[in-house]
Every structure is written in C-alpha cells, then in structure tokens.
Structure 1
C-alpha cells in the first residue's frame, strides 16, 4: 500500500524548526495551499478565494511578470502569498515549487493542480509533438507536483484536487489530447484514493465547464501556434469568480467529484444512460455550429 518512510525524521525536524506565520481566521486558517497555474485565469481566482478563506497560498506560473502582478494584487489586499516560477511538466521545478511552500510557511496542506495547456485542432491534423505537449501539460503537470508534495501532504493529511473538464466526460471534437489528459487525471484520482486510503489524504476532481477567459487566453492549434479559444456562447459561461468559489467549496467539503454547470451534469447523465444520444448531439453541433469547435 503506502510507504510511510516517504516522510523522513529529518523532514519532520526541518518543518518543526520553521515556525509558520499563517493567517488565523477563516475556514482554511492555518492551512497552506499550492495552486498551479495561478498567475492568471481560474487559478488566480481560486488562489484569491483560498486567501479570502484564510489560507496562505503559493502562486505558480511560467510568466514571471504576470505572476508578480498577481502576487502584488493579492498582497495589497492583505493576503499571505508567495510565488514560484515553475514549469509543472519539469519534476525538478515542481520540487522547487513545493520547497517554496516549505521555506515560506513550513507545510503543505492543499494542492490544486490547475495548470494545463488546451487546444483547438482535429486529431488528423495535429503534429505528434503538439499532441504530446498538450497531454504532458495535463498529465505530468498533475503527476509531478503531486509526487513532489506527497510526503508533506501525508504529514498534514491534506487535500488534493485535480482540475479536469466536462470535456473529459464524453470527449469533444478538436480537443483530443486535452480530453484524453483530463480523463486520465480523473481516473488517476480514483486510483490514488484506493492506494493511499490509509494516509487520510483527500483526492478530488473538479470538472470545469465553459468559463469566461482572460482576453489574452490562448490555446494551441495543430502546429503548436497559440490561437484564441474557440467561440463559446456567453450565456453558457460562468465567471472565473463563480468557478473559483465552487472549487474552494469542493476542497472545504473534501468531495470526490464536482461537475460544474447544468450542462456538465447533463453530459454525465446522457453519457451514462444514453450514450448514442450524446454522440448524435455532438455530431449535429459539428455540422451546425462549426465555430464552437474551430
């Protein structure tokens, strides 16, 4: 099952000797969270919501300037934050990310793996290296931060939430690598609940629906070039603040799965009980709403 030697006596002594200076009010008072991909978008607003609930948060991203802007924004609001520029598909960088939490706050209680790359390209057109880049960002961008943080989450009996998508529930044309990666992390969470049941760690998955994006949001096309995200009707979209609040509630209640939006819950229902109908609906939208995918 689980090797308790993952947490060494030296690690315990190091953490114990480093008194944390953490917020003292709110449902997450005294807790330390790492949110990957929190320099912008949903990750930024999730970090903000955690801070407002009393957590100290380590912010992460690959763009140092944007990350610093987010840090200043949250620090000015009186929140306790630290930052680490790190590519979460690089394991050594993830070790630095976790060490940042330990150096600043002495512990890790919450990990939210939000960072990922999305796409808009049909499988037949995609360069193999682009497929791998998207898949790696979603799978290894989840696995590596967790591997690096796991010994410390064992010590705190912490909480881990993987950010997935409603597109992982039934697939979506022009999103093959993204859908495959998001489905993979959902199944990974289930496996980890079984393997690590004795640790007391919470493993959850949030399936995000259509969400308002930052204006500069880009995804990859078939050749790996950044392009705007495909059209989404505004009436179908939740705000980033709404999505962040749902993610934080999911963590607080230590839920196994949260599917955001009525559309997401409908997809689960149709995929489970009427899969042929679900495929017919998708194929119909490809013919009638091509800009939804392209």
Structure 2
C-alpha cells in the first residue's frame, strides 16, 4: 500500500460502506466536497487533481479526519495518466465501484474571439477527461456492476453564449452516457449524468478567456447558487438511486421545460440576460 493511504475500515458504516470511488478533479471545489461526503458515508476514495500542493493538502485533511483515502496526481486528458489513476484505486483498495468524472475546464469567451487551440483545450478536458478515466476503469466497474456519473452542466441543456466549447463538451458527455447505457446494458453498470447549476466556487476558481488565460468566472447572483456541500449531497443521492439524469436546481429544471416546449422564448431570455452581463463586464 502506498505511504499515507488507509485501508477501508472493516466496521465502517454508511450508505457507501465497502465501496471504492474515484472522483476526478477532487483536489478542490465540488469534487472535493463530493469525495468528502463519500468518505463520510463509508466509502474509500481516490482523490485526483493536477495541482500537487492542493491535492496533497486535501489528502492530508481527509486522512486527519480518519477517512480511507489515497491520491493520484494525474491529467485526465492523458490516457496513460488515467491508467495510473485507476491502478491507484486497485492497488490501494482492491476494487472499484464508483467513478465520478468531475474534472473539466470551463471558459468565458465568445466563439469568434477564441483561438482554436483554446477551444480544443476546453473541449478535450470535458470529453476526453470523461472518456479516458472511464475507458481505464471499465474492466473493474464491470466486475462490480458499478456506477459511473458524468458531471455535466445545465448549460449543456440549452447552450450559453460565451461557453461554446464548454457547452459542446458537456452535451457530448450527456449523449455518451445515453449511448453507453444502451451498449453496455448487459454489464449492469449504472451510467448517469448530473447537470449542475450555479454553485458557489472556491475564491481561486478560474476559467479560460479567448486567448487561454485564466480569468474569474462570470458574475452570478448569490441567491441562484447552491453550496458545494448541497451539490455533493445531490450527486450522492443520484448515485445511490442509480438515476439516469439529475438536473440540479429549479433554474435547471425550468431550462429543460422551456427548451423542450418554448425554445424561442428560451433563446430570447438567454440573449437578453447575456447582453446585460456583457454590458456589465465591458
């Protein structure tokens, strides 16, 4: 067992007792809080991220709380790194029951202004950052009839100006889950998607601008935002119930309703809102 890792406690209790989970992008933010809640509910968790300092700080915090935890520094757009990530779970805990693909890059840039390589970077992080961990984990998830949850966004449901690559990637992930649900029905693996809405972010959270430089996220009214802990709780409920799709927040469900039945009205509302926001930033 690698130094600093704990075996799952034999007598651990909770909804996910005896389960082993990998949560990508769990060094901070929603991923970290989802991993924390999984640990509190009895799971052993492999943490992941690209920032060594933040990842180690999170691992130490979890270990100090008595959680069964390991960590793996890995870029999920690199397939070899994803193989190492999944191998960490198997070497440390002996199995894999839950995969949550949370790691991704977002943007705040209009399509006409974006450099092609920036578009690709955002798209790759969302698509290959989902495909590669799953591909590496699939044999082990088949053994346990495990659960796979792709973290998407409400912006994938109707599109969002200034988020072309991000929205495209998140929409692709939703369709991927549907396809895999059909292709791999005989395996017993659960494939689900959680569409996250506006969520409180860590102060250092950044997205990419048109040139690929990190910038603060767009302004969001606080009353529209859920806490990271609230979102983590919804994600765990989604996994426990093995749901196909969960749309977080009343706003997200309203977007689904309007996009389905009144798409022109939905586009009008989005355009009016984004014009106001663009004026705010300019």
TM class, shorter-chain normalised?
over 0.9
Over residues 29-73 of structure 1, what are the superposed CA-to-partner deviations in whole Å (9 max), with x where a residue is unaligned? 110000000000000000001001110000000011100000011
Aligned partner of 1:173 among 161, 170, 173: 161
**Inter-partner Cα distance in structure 2 for 1:194 and 1:130:** 33
SS of equivalent to 2:226: coil
Residue 239 in structure 1 maps to residue 227 in structure 2: yes
SS of equivalent to 1:58: strand
Deviation at 1:25, TM superposition (A): 1.1
**Inter-partner Cα distance in structure 1 for 2:119 and 2:281:** 17
Report the counterpart of residue 212 of structure 2 in structure 1.
224
Residue 254 in structure 1 maps to residue 242 in structure 2: yes
Report the counterpart of residue 271 of structure 1 in structure 2.
259
Deviation at 1:21, TM superposition (A): 3.5
CA RMSD of superposed structures (Å):
1.2
SS of equivalent to 1:29: coil
Report the counterpart of residue 22 of structure 1 in structure 2.
8
Gaps of 5+ in 1: 1-19
State the 4+ residue runs in structure 1 displaced beyond 3 angstroms.
Answer: 291-294
Over residues 164-189 of structure 1, what are the superposed CA-to-partner deviations in whole Å (9 max), with x where a residue is unaligned? 00000000000000000000000000
Report the counterpart of residue 284 of structure 1 in structure 2.
272
Deviation at 1:293, TM superposition (A): 8.0
**Inter-partner Cα distance in structure 2 for 1:250 and 1:121:** 31
Number of positions where the alignment pairs a residue of Structure 1 with one of Structure 2: 275
**Inter-partner Cα distance in structure 2 for 1:56 and 1:250:** 18
Matches for 1:207-218 after TM superposition, within 5 Å: 207-218=195-206
**Inter-partner Cα distance in structure 2 for 1:55 and 1:223:** 40
Gaps of 5+ in 2: 1-5
Over residues 187-222 of structure 1, what are the superposed CA-to-partner deviations in whole Å (9 max), with x where a residue is unaligned? 000000000000000000000000000000000000
Q: TM-score when scaled to structure 1?
A: 0.92
Over residues 89-123 of structure 1, what are the superposed CA-to-partner deviations in whole Å (9 max), with x where a residue is unaligned? 00000000000001100000000000000000000
Aligned partner of 2:20 among 25, 32, 35: 32
Question: Compared with structure 1, are the counterparts of its residues 291 and 72 closer, same or farther at alpha carbon in structure 2 (3 Å cutoff)?
Answer: farther
SS of equivalent to 1:160: strand
**Inter-partner Cα distance in structure 2 for 1:216 and 1:86:** 20
**Contact 1:231–1:291 under 8 Å retained in 2:** no
**Inter-partner Cα distance in structure 2 for 1:204 and 1:287:** 33
Report the counterpart of residue 126 of structure 2 in structure 1.
138
Aligned partner of 2:55 among 55, 67, 70: 67
SS of equivalent to 1:289: helix
**Inter-partner Cα distance in structure 2 for 1:247 and 1:292:** 33
**Inter-partner Cα distance in structure 2 for 1:246 and 1:291:** 34
**Inter-partner Cα distance in structure 2 for 1:43 and 1:36:** 7
Matches for 1:59-138 after TM superposition, within 5 Å: 59-138=47-126
**Inter-partner Cα distance in structure 1 for 2:275 and 2:55:** 40
Residue 186 in structure 1 maps to residue 174 in structure 2: yes
**Inter-partner Cα distance in structure 2 for 1:291 and 1:32:** 47
**Inter-partner Cα distance in structure 2 for 1:292 and 1:160:** 39
